[in-house]
A and B are shown apart, each in its own frame.
Chain A
Amino acid sequence: MSTFVYMTRCDGCGHCVDICPSDIMHIDETIRRAKNIEPNFCWECYSCVKACPNHAIDVRGYADFAPMGHSVRVRREEEKGTISWRIKFRNGTEKNFVSPITTKPWGKFIPKLADEDSPNQGEINSQRLYTEPNGLNIDGDLPTINKETFKKGVYY
């Protein structure tokens, strides 16, 4: 899948150019609007889709597997601190989600690892990751599922 730009909505502000982690969103030299210069290298991270202030960027699926008529679109409202998703399926089913924005400002909240205590061997061998469980705002142990409840084989 890859991103594409609705030219009537794009105003060439450059936010997608700035945020694209693959550096594939660039400005067209004829009409000065954004474009994806290398769709094959797009990993559908949706960074540009969310960053676009004019909702001018969308993501298309490959014709061989994406259901035709589907749509996944997002509205990011900084003044409310929310990000809303609207997912439309080919059969008409529609799902809407609203979540808080969790993006951190550029250059902030970078862990200062050099100032931290070195982990002991027990912490290195543990399955817990750095800052867990406090970083997840969980008191005590991480949640677990009893393996006995699992069914065998692939299931959905």
Chain B
Amino acid sequence: MFNNNPFSNLAEIVSPLAMQGFLIAMVGLVILGTLIDILHKKNVKYFFDNAKKAKKNAEIELSATKRTSVILKTVAHDIATTAELGRGKRRVAHVMGMYGTIIFWACSAILIFTYSKAGIETPTSITTLWHAGAILTCLGGYWFWFFLRVDVLAEAHPWYRIIKADLFVLALLACATFGLAWSYTQSSGMIKLNYLFLVLFIVANLVLFGGVYWSKFAHMFYKPGAAIQKNLAEADGSRDNLPPPAEAKEQFGLGIKREQPKHY
């Protein structure tokens, strides 16, 4: 199964051009959904207004070098390791899901654009990575869905309660799960099930990429922006009106360590 390139086998019934067109259409849907989201929620206006406010309250004028350094540090720490989630299971699950998804999507693009034509042998490293990405997405996503979701952990709702905020995570999990099932049934020769999971995989992709405006999909663009703005505000002293870190020795610390929010 891990050596199977499901897209090259699919090329027997669907032309590689159609697959490439579908992928480009999905990218277009993401751009369109995000733009409509920006227009409707006015979040870009909010970011710029906030940046102006921070500049007005700044105590230090940041040089271009310092700004670049803060942005690079934010990318390497806050964004690449989702540091805002603190140390704990939520962060591990999010990192698994995030990198799993990136690998899954990147490998899908490589497989569709480079190795979907007949007669071209697919390197096993790419197919293995495609499957590993999907598995990683499933592990992080289902861990989050069943145990770590704030609705379940802090609000004590049952795991099967579905709300609008679940559209993104459920569509993403459906994509990864049906993608794996499609590849497995294809490599095992289960023809009817293979077509069923292919249709479900396509539908899950349409919901995921077509539902950007209604789902939390765009958080992957806004959250990095918010992290950069937060760290720039810390560096220039405006700090969103927050007090500076206390000049105290770490001598009283963690006698009152933060506990899991589940005292419902």
Chain B residues with CB under 8 A of A100:
252
* Interchain CA distance A101-B257 in the complex, whole Å: 11
> B163 near A77 (CB under 8 angstroms)?
no
B242 touches A15 (CB 8 A): no
User: Known interface pairs A27-B155, A30-B165. Does A79 touch B241 (Cβ–Cβ under 8 Å)?
Assistant: no
Q: Which chain A residues lie closer than 8 Å to B226 at the CB level?
A: 8-9
Q: How far is the CA of A84 from the CA of B222 in the complex (A)?
A: 29
22 A-B pairs whose Cβ atoms sit less than 8 Å apart in the complex:
A8-B223, A8-B230, A9-B230, A11-B84, A13-B90, A13-B150, A14-B153, A14-B155, A14-B261, A17-B155, A27-B150, A28-B165, A31-B216, A80-B250, A80-B253, A81-B251, A84-B246, A86-B242, A86-B244, A96-B244, A105-B259, A106-B259
Asked if A18 lies at the interface with its beta carbon under 8 angstroms from chain B, I say: yes
> Smallest Cβ distance from A95 to chain B, in angstroms?
10
Residues of chain B within 8 A (CB-CB) of A103 are 256
**Is A81's CB under 8 angstroms from B150's CB?**
no
- What is the distance, in angstroms, from B58's C-beta to the closest C-beta of chain A? 14
Complex contacts, A73 vs chain B, CB 8 Å: 240-243
Q: Which residues of B contact A15 (CB under 8 A)?
A: 154, 258, 261
Q: Quick check: is A60 within 8 A (CB to CB) of the other chain?
A: no
Chain A residue at minimal CB-CB distance from B86: A53
Chain A neighbourhood of B85, CB < 8 A: 11, 13
Interface residues of B (CB under 8 A from A): 43, 46-47, 50, 84-86, 90, 149-151, 153-155, 163-165, 216, 222-223, 225-226, 229-230, 240-259, 261-264
In the complex, what distance in Å separates the CA atom of A36 from the CA atom of B84?
Answer: 21
Q: Which 9 A-B pairs have the closest CB atoms?
A: A81-B252, A14-B154, A86-B243, A18-B261, A8-B226, A32-B165, A84-B243, A14-B261, A82-B246
User: How many angstroms from the CA of A13 to the CA of B253 in the assembled complex?
Assistant: 22
Roughly how many angstroms separate A74 CA and B258 CA in the complex, as a whole number?
16
Chain A interface mostly: loop
Tell me which of A8, A11, A77, A105 contacts B246 (CB under 8 A).
A77
Chain B residues with CB under 8 Å of A96's CB are: 243-244
User: Could you tell me if B257 and A78 are in contact, using CB atoms closer than 8 angstroms?
Assistant: yes
Q: Closest chain B residue to A99 by CB distance?
A: B246
Query: Is the CB–CB distance between B264 and A55 below 8 Å?
Result: no
Since A8-B46, A53-B86, A79-B253 are in contact, a sample of 4 more A-B pairs with Cβ atoms closer than 8 Å, ordered by chain A residue number, is A8-B47, A14-B153, A86-B244, A105-B259
A51: chain B residues at CB < 8 Å are 258
Whether the Cβ atoms of B240 and A55 lie closer than 8 Å is: yes
CA distance A32 to B223 in the complex (A): 14
Q: A8-B226, A11-B85, A17-B150 are in contact. Are A101 and B240 (CB under 8 A)?
A: no
State the CA gap A84–B90 with chains docked (Å): 27
Which chain A residue has the least Cβ–Cβ distance from B255?
A: A81
